[in-house]
Structure 1
Amino acid sequence: MLMEALCLDILNSTWRGYRGGEREQDRLLTPGWDEQLMKRWGIQALSPLEPEAREVLQTLRSAMSHVIEAIEKGTDPAEQDLETINTALALMPSTPFLAREENQYVLSYHPLQVDWRWFVREVAFSFTQLLIQHDPLRLKRCQNPACGWSFYDESRHKNRQWCNQTCATLMRVRRFRLHHRSLSSEQFTP
């Protein structure tokens, strides 16, 4: 089972294809994609996002991606990237709301106003929750150079390299073919 998080959907909203050679697409700019995403996550439809919101989401996506790269390299993230995430978290004030669900109390936050800033805040909040409540070292980028999608590695040994089985199979086949080509060329070298 793969961990799902709103921030991962935004991080992976840049479509490069997994084979290579496909034209890159920014799904944040695709009409209707944002509405489907909000529906999927149970966020009140803000139909459609304003251009300003798309720009803010693109900037936030870039900052979140840089943080994951820093984690993978074992370095501290740039202050500018953390500032971008904090700015997104502060976009929309909210009030805490206590509720009882399934024999336990839960605290949620309700926006003072529902607009695109709330959606951006939810994306940033999703990312911070992933960093705080889970092992940040398990946040990774697919090792398929044509893909680069972000994922949360839930494998027992923390050694997953690819975002999904499609990329894993493709990379294994490429490695196998490259290995056999090199063996074949060595056999015919005088």
Structure 2
Amino acid sequence: MIEAPSSAQLVEAFANTVDVELGTDDLAASGELAGWLADRGLLEAGSPLSAADHELGLRLRAGIREELGVHVGDTPDPDLLLAADGALRELPLLSTVRRGTSAALLPAPELPPARKALALIAVAWTELVITGEAARLKRCAEHACAWVFWDVSKNRSRRWCSMRVCGNRTKARRYAAKHAGTAG
């Protein structure tokens, strides 16, 4: 089993703040996003988060979720991807060399705390893309679910968060559609 790196765990948790099946959004209000960031040690508890920062975080999340759907064959909404790219431009990152042995991406030091916290999510996403590990992070192909999961399969071929639930739903619908009209 291939364990998800911390960057993937952060991006997965961020993307899963939306539950399509239940119709809930854990980040619907800016205070909820601030609390979520604080719970993960990305933002000091009680730090303010402006409406613009909240909107920026939601654009980033929507774009990441959209891109993760590509990994299971979905066609992304280009407007959501463009909006997320715009969000990333508002969260500048710096490349630095630490102790002369390894490169690192860091949020630009001039960013205010809330933007710095969001930039840490951008760092995690960028690390996954650069290393190719983003391909293991996927949005469930069952659109009624759309849960984000880490694909532990050896060949990165998993399409559903759960074969027993979402995979079976999809296959049962496909079977029923194929055999509709042949009964009787």
- Length-normalised TM-score, structure 1: 0.66
2:166 corresponds in structure 1 to 171
Pairwise mapping of residues 30-45 of structure 1 onto structure 2 (< 5 A)?
A: 31-32=31-32, 34-40=34-40, 42-45=41-44
Change (3 A) 1:2 1:161: farther
1:12 corresponds in structure 2 to 16
Task: Give 1:28's aligned amino acid.
Answer: L
Percent pairwise identity: 20
Superposition deviation, residue 32 in structure 1: 4.4
1:84 corresponds in structure 2 to 86
2:58 corresponds in structure 1 to 58
Q: Let me know the Cα RMSD of the aligned residues.
A: 4.0
Change (3 A) 1:114 1:95: farther
2:116 corresponds in structure 1 to 118
C-alpha separation in 2, matches of 1:69 and 1:141: 5
Task: Give 2:131's aligned amino acid.
Answer: Q
C-alpha separation in 2, matches of 1:71 and 1:173: 19
Which secondary structure does the structure 2 equivalent of 1:109 belong to? strand
Change (3 A) 1:60 1:171: closer
Change (3 A) 1:85 1:153: farther
List alignment gaps of at least 5 residues for structure 1: none
Which secondary structure does the structure 2 equivalent of 1:118 belong to? helix
Superposition deviation, residue 118 in structure 1: 0.5
Question: What's the CA shift string for 1:68-107, capped at 9, x where partnerless?
Answer: 34455498995725632531432xx66847369xxx7675
Which secondary structure does the structure 2 equivalent of 1:59 belong to? helix
Change (3 A) 1:124 1:52: same
**Which of the residues 147, 152, 155 maps onto 1:154?**
152
Change (3 A) 1:33 1:54: closer
Which secondary structure does the structure 1 equivalent of 2:98 belong to? strand
Task: Give 2:106's aligned amino acid.
Answer: Y
Change (3 A) 1:87 1:46: farther
Superposition deviation, residue 155 in structure 1: 0.9
Question: What's the CA shift string for 1:157-179, capped at 9, x where partnerless?
Answer: 2221222x4xx322355468665
Which structure has the larger Rg?
A: 1
1:27 corresponds in structure 2 to 26
List alignment gaps of at least 5 residues for structure 2: none
C-alpha separation in 2, matches of 1:28 and 1:150: 16
Question: What's the CA shift string for 1:101-149, capped at 9, x where partnerless?
Answer: xxx7675636345511101111112111111112443332102221112
